């Protein structure tokens, strides 16, 4: 599978990560950086993604503008979803957030995915203001816990 096809498969699997297919497309030493206070590993990233999709079953990356360069693929994301389920983020001090029915639409931002052997080894976003977990929580009307 080429790098671009591997990314597209990972994006599809990322909207239903509970079935384990998403985890199979991520390298064990995978790192997620950008919209989080500090980079996190595969286990933490999967827990975060599973929590988001459970709370927002219509979670969508809305990825566009794919550009492949060797082992890297860049694209634009605009994450959307509607919080119809409880949001239970795996973060210290973060209370469970009951369903709000609110629709989340984060700003478009650039993403870079790095691959090794058709598996994602690094995901990095621009880390724009009002993006990532903080952006989701702000749109739901919830403050980030103090770290």
* CA–CA gap between residue 63 and residue 65 (Å, rounded): 7
In contact, 104 and 77? CB cutoff 8 Å: no
Q: What are phi and psi of 142, to 5 degrees?
A: -120, 140
Do β-strands 26-33 and 119-125 pair in parallel, antiparallel, or remain unpaired?
A: parallel
**Would you write out the chain's pLDDT as a tens digit for each of its 147 residues?**
688 888 888 888 888 877 788 899 999 999 999 877 789 999 999 999 999 999 999 999 999 999 999 999 999 999 999 999 999 998 888 889 999 999 999 999 999 999 999 999 999 998 778 888 889 999 999 876 665
pTM over 0.85: yes
Residue 20: CA count within 13 A, CB half-sphere: 0
Can you tell me which residue has the tokens 């957030």?
Answer: 97
- 3-140 topology per CATH: Nuclear Transport Factor 2; Chain: A, (3.10.450)
């Amino acid at each position: 599978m080429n790098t671009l096809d591997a990314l597209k498969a990972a994006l599809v699997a990322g909207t239903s990560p509970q079935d384990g297919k998403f985890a199979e497309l991520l390298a064990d030493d995978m790192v997620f950086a950008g919209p989080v206070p500090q980079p996190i590993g595969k286990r933490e990233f999967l827990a975060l993604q599973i929590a988001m999709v459970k709370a927002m079953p219509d979670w969508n990356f809305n990825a566009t503008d794919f550009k492949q360069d060797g082992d890297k693929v860049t694209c634009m994301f605009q994450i959307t979803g509607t919080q119809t389920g409880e949001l239970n983020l795996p973060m210290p001090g973060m209370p469970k957030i009951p369903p709000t029915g609110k629709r989340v639409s984060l700003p478009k931002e650039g993403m870079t995915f790095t691959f090794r052997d058709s598996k994602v080894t690094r995901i990095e976003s621009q880390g724009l203001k009002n993006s990532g977990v903080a952006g989701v929580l702000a749109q739901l009307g919830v403050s980030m816990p103090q770290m």
